[in-house]
Amino acid sequence: MFDRADKIRARSPCRLNEQIDHCIATRIEDLATRSDADRQAHLDRLDRAWSVDQAALVGLALVSMASTLAAWVRPRWLGLAAISTASLLQAATGGGGAVIAVLRRAGLRTRSEIECERYALKALRGDFDFVTTARSPVAQAGTALQAALR
């Protein structure tokens, strides 16, 4: 369905992936009935959206830096620096870890999920010919989403 190289999605529970997929489909159906300006505003938001791996890497890097700096004052902070650095390495190489699991449950999406929504909205906008043949906005949304998933 989504990119096979999406390690984060592959390691997420199926139920969580289904919930995120349902949210994407619901947003696409809702935006199918809205104006082009609303769709463009949502596309602009998607351009600025952070994926779960970006949020995890930035957050863990900040914690690692802060705890390393704090360790100069109190050496006991080195433990947090070591844990956050190990988590950062795990998130960067394996697509998993506790931080990513928490962020996924909070609703952050993978880059491929964000791209899927973006392409479905572009299809609704009329960037691709095959979607405009559908009659109702809901049918157009379904066609756009299916096309984006290919």
pLDDT for position 1: 47
pLDDT for position 122: 86
Please tell me whether the overall predicted TM-score, pTM, comes out greater than 0.85 for this model.
no
DSSP, collapsed to helix, strand or coil, labels residue 13 as: coil
Domain ranges of the chain: 9-49+118-150, 51-108
Mean pLDDT by 10 residues, the chain (150 residues): 69 91 91 90 94 90 93 92 89 79 90 89 76 60 66
One-letter amino acid at 37 equals A
Distance CA 123, CA 128 (A): 5
**Do 140 and 132 meet the contact criterion of CB atoms below 8 Å apart?**
yes
